[in-house]
């Protein structure tokens, strides 16, 4: 932001400075500690509608260094990192520089993990990868009413999955499912997205009525099977043929 040229002291200069300070004060410092670049991309997209300055640490060591030089209002910390467990990181490195809301991201958020997170001072535990519905109650603690503003539930790379689901119950089709990549399945789609995909096709899977009780890894494995089955139904022998046919990605790339 550029200030207007100063032409002497006066109300206009004071107003400009005051407005700039108000704008800066609205921004919150957010740290994402996550080794998976896909999860970082998704979470950053979900937070893009909020006044937040986002820093990213890919390892415990990077997060410790960030905690020594900066204070944060909100920290998202992955349970599993490439260089160790992230569970104790909030208390060890990020808690001592003012009030911070800590959120643990776990692919296995069972009662034991939730209790451990509470013991280590976390404000909440969310499924990894996250979705906006999980985030909103925690975001309200930092951003207040701004957290309830319309946000982007799905990054553009998989926005079609959400767009294909409307009040009438429309579901993603074979072309959309066949065009998904493993990275999208693991890091961009939420649990509800995965369940929607499984229920969208007549793949012979007996557990469709009990998907809410399945863990994340099981849902991902079933969706990979459904993706392969969809490719075969379309007459595609492998994923390379999907990538060689850009028309299969037309809906994936179409803006919502």
pLDDT at residue 21, rounded to an integer: 46
Average pLDDT for 155-163: 46
| 31 closest CA partner among 108, 86, 109 | 86
Task: Sort 54 into a burial class: Cβ within 10 Å, 0-12 / 13-18 / 19+.
Answer: middle
C-alpha span between 74 and 71 (Å, rounded): 9
Q: Among residues of the chain, what percentage have pLDDT more than 70?
A: 71
The predicted model scores a pTM of 0.58
- Ranked by mean pLDDT, the top range of 54-58, 187-191, 229-233, 246-250 is 54-58
Packed helices 191-200 and 216-233: angle between N→C axes, nearest 10 degrees: 40
Q: Which residue has the tokens 């969809």?
A: 230
| pLDDT band (50, 70, 90) for residue 6 | very low
C-alpha span between 24 and 76 (Å, rounded): 22
Beta bridge partners of 30: 54, 74
Identify the residue with better confidence: 152 or 200: 200
For 205-233, what is each residue's pLDDT tens digit? 777 888 887 888 888 889 999 999 888 88
Average pLDDT for 50-68: 91
C-alpha span between 131 and 128 (Å, rounded): 9
Where does 11-148 sit in CATH, by number? Answer: 3.40.50.2300
Is the model's pLDDT at 245 over the cut of 70? no
Q: Where are the domains of the chain?
A: 11-148, 156-253
Encoding tokens for residue 24? 């800066």
| pLDDT band (50, 70, 90) for residue 79 | very high
Identify the residue with better confidence: 53 or 1: 53
- Ranked by mean pLDDT, the top range of 146-155, 196-205, 245-254 is 196-205
Average pLDDT value for the chain: 75
Average pLDDT for 161-173: 51
Q: CB–CB of 217/106 below 8 Å?
A: no
Least confident range of 3-12, 154-163, 220-229:
154-163
């Amino acid at each position: 932001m550029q200030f207007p040229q100063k032409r002497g002291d006066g109300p206009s200069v004071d107003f400009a400075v005051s407005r700039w300070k108000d704008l800066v004060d609205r921004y919150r410092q957010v740290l994402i500690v996550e080794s998976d670049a896909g999860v970082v991309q998704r979470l950053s997209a979900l937070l893009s509608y909020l006044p937040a300055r986002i820093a990213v640490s890919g390892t415990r060591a990077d997060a410790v260094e960030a905690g020594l030089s900066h204070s944060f209002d909100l920290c998202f910390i992955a349970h599993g990192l490439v260089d160790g467990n992230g569970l104790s990181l909030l208390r060890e490195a990020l808690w001592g520089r003012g009030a911070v809301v800590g959120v643990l991201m776990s692919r296995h958020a069972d009662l034991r993990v939730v209790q451990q997170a509470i013991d280590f001072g976390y404000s909440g535990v969310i499924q990894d990868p996250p979705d906006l519905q999980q985030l909103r109650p925690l975001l309200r603690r930092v951003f207040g009413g701004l957290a309830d503003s319309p946000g982007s539930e799905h990054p553009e790379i998989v926005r079609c999955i959400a767009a294909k689901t409307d009040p009438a119950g429309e579901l993603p089709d074979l072309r959309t499912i066949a065009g998904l990549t493993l990275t999208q399945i693991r890091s961009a789609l939420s649990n509800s997205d995965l369940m929607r995909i499984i229920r969208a096709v007549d793949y012979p899977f007996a557990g469709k009525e009990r998907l809410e009780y399945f863990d994340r890894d099981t849902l991902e494995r079933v969706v990979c099977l459904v993706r392969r089955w969809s490719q075969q139904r379309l007459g595609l022998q492998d994923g390379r043929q999907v990538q060689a046919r850009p028309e299969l990605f037309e809906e994936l790339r179409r803006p919502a």
